[in-house]
Structure 1
Amino acid sequence: MAKIKPQALLLQSKKKKGPTRINPSTVITCNIIVILIVLSLYATYRNWFNRSSNQLGKGLENFEHSVTSGQSTGTHLPSYAIFNTAKGSITIELYKDASRDVVNKFVNLCQKGYFKGMLFNHVIKNFVIQGGHSQKLEGAGDWILKGKAHSQLATSPKHEAFMLGTLKPNKDSKEFELFITTAPIPDLSDKLIIFGRVIKGEDVVQEIEEVDTDEHYRPKSPVGIVDIALKQEA
């Protein structure tokens, strides 16, 4: 058997222990895999981000819609009420800062459909038109009759014509009466809480004021509110 020379053994040992060279195709494959993983993670992030943005956008859209349609959100109340009547529409600016509690109650009643079909049950020329579900003058009777007798007293801007108000709270009454003045009323603040004013449709108010009434100031032909729409802009 032939002996292997020491130099040959040394060369074989170096060949076995030397580093293994990586195939270029393997490097390319690994790089491609890394790139695909990064792209997949980025696509997942973009998808999550877009879904979150869409949900936030829908939430804001629903919030804005609720405000525009008049749904009370606590601190946000509509600025205008559109009275659609048998004679035409009346636009009223709501005093939501000065009379927030009354406006809030009014808005909630509107949302419940309380005013749909409400009649103007008392119409007094050169004084007020009154809307409500009750056919009685109740506590407003004396005020209306006395008010007409004192119509020459000094007035202020708060007592002007075309103001929207309701009777001051009465623990025995669950009704919410509406009064639209058609002339300055000196003692207005004594009986009514003013929570708005007519800014468009004064002619409609005056047309309602001119309807024929009986001796109790009740219109001979029914005239009333079809519905009320709440808006943020007039």
Structure 2
Amino acid sequence: MARIKPQALLIQSKKKKGPTRINVTTILFCNLIVLLILLSLIATYRHWFQSRSREQTGIGLSKFEHVDEIVDSKKYDLPGYAVLNTSKGYITIELFKDGSPETVDKFLDLCQKGHFKGMPFHHVIKNYVILGGHSQGLGGIEDWTSKGKLRGRLTTRSSGIPKHEAFMLGTTKVKEDSKAFQLFITTAPIPDLNDKLFVFGRVIKGEDVVQEIEEVDTDEHYQPKSPVLIIDVMLQQEI
């Protein structure tokens, strides 16, 4: 057997173990695949990020919508009527929740606290108003009685003057920090009193009771000789 020279063996070894050449087409194809994978990952991340943002925005909006629903529900859940149980009978009042919301809220709060239980009608001015409240903080009652006396001497022919209608419920305008809350019910159309009064309801049932209170005997200061009281106030959603 012929011996192979070392130099020939080295040449054969290089031929067997030498690296295989990769053509340009294969390189471009591999790079294209890598690029497509990267683009796919970027698109997937963007889609995920946008979806998450929309979900968070939707949650935020739903929270605000829920708050609005709560506010609206609270508004409409407030009692719309108050029934004054007086020593002369029942007077049903429709409350102006939309027109005088702050005054109505305060009135309802005082009702729930029992503020009006046992409250007297302390002044009764015929063809004018009946006034209810406690003796503390009446202030300016002389002005009411003077208006009543003046009204007794005047006619109401001037239709151009704004008037409060008869059987309207209101309260006197007092300082915000005052705890006084007077009630008045008009018994006739009267000259405009917007500078002194908040009107926040009207009598829809029990006008005869208002008129009966109006007819009680009073002294020279328009104070009833026999007590006329608000026994209690009942709040109702409907009547």
TM tier, smaller: 0.5 to 0.7
Distance 1:232 1:156 in 2: 35
2:173 maps to 168
Q: Are 1:177 and 2:182 an aligned pair? A: yes
Rounded Cα–Cα distance in structure 2 between residues aligned with 1:217 and 1:168: 21
Of the three residues 176, 191, 203, the one matched with 2:208 is: 203
TM-score with structure 2 setting the length:
0.62
Q: How many residues align?
A: 163
Unaligned runs of 5+ in 2: 1-72
Q: Could you tell me how far 1:189 is from its partner in structure 2?
A: 1.5
Residue 110, structure 1, aligned to residue 115, structure 2: no
User: For the residues of structure 2 that align with 1:128 and 1:145, how far apart are their CA atoms?
Assistant: 12
Cα 1:218–1:136 change in 2 (3 A) is farther
Task: Identify if the C-alpha distance between structure 1 residues 119 and 130 changes in structure 2 by more than 3 Å, giving closer, same or farther.
Answer: same
Report the CA distance between 1:188 and its aligned residue.
Answer: 2.2
> Aligned to 2:227, what secondary structure does the other structure show?
coil
1:171 CA drift (Å) = 4.7
Residue 63 of structure 2 corresponds to none
- In the TM superposition, residue 146 of structure 1 has moved relative to its aligned partner by 2.9
After superposition, the C-alpha distances for 1:19-39 in whole angstroms (9 at most, x for unaligned) are xxxxxxxxxxxxxxxxxxxxx
Larger mean Cα displacement after TM superposition, 131-140 or 115-124: 131-140
The answer to whether the 8 Å contact 2:162/2:192 transfers is no
- Say which SS state the counterpart of residue 208 (structure 2) adopts: helix
C-alpha distance after superposition, 1:125-180 (max 9, x if no partner)? 11100000116752243144236525624377861110000011325732100000
Query: 1:90-148: CA deviations, max 9, x gaps?
Result: 00000010000000000000000000010001111111000001167522431442365
The 8 Å contact of residues 147 and 185 in structure 1, kept in 2 or not, is answered as no
Query: Structure 2 counterpart of 1:149, which letter?
Result: L
Paired with 1:203 and 1:166, the residues of 2 have a C-alpha distance of: 21
Amino acid at match of 2:196: K
CA distance in 2, matches of 1:218, 1:117: 16
Higher Cα radius of gyration: 2
In structure 1, distance between residues paired with 2:238 and 2:162: 24
CA distance in 2, matches of 1:155, 1:111: 40
Aligned in 2, Cα 1:203/1:196: closer, same or farther, shift over 3 Å?
same
**How far 1:84 moved relative to its partner?**
0.5
Instruction: Return structure 1 stretches of 4+ with deviation > 6 angstroms.
Output: none
Q: Counterpart in 2 of 1:85?
A: 86
Q: Which residue of 1 aligns with 2:56?
A: none
Q: Kindly report which structure 2 residues correspond to 1:49-88, keeping only aligned pairs within 5 A, or say none.
A: 73=74, 76-88=77-89
For residues 85 and 172 of structure 1, the distance between their equivalents in structure 2, rounded to whole angstroms, comes to 28
Task: In structure 2, give the amino acid aligned to 1:109.
Answer: L
Q: 1:222 aligns with which of 227, 230, 234?
A: 227
Q: 1:64 is matched with which residue?
A: none
Letter of the structure 1 residue corresponding to residue 192 of structure 2: D
Q: For 1:144 and 1:184, locate their aligned partners in 2 and report how far apart those are by CA, in whole Å.
A: 17
Structure 1 residues 159-218: Cα deviation after superposition (integer angstroms, max 9, x where no partner): 111000001132573210000000111122121100000000000000001111111111
Q: Partner amino acid for 1:195?
A: F
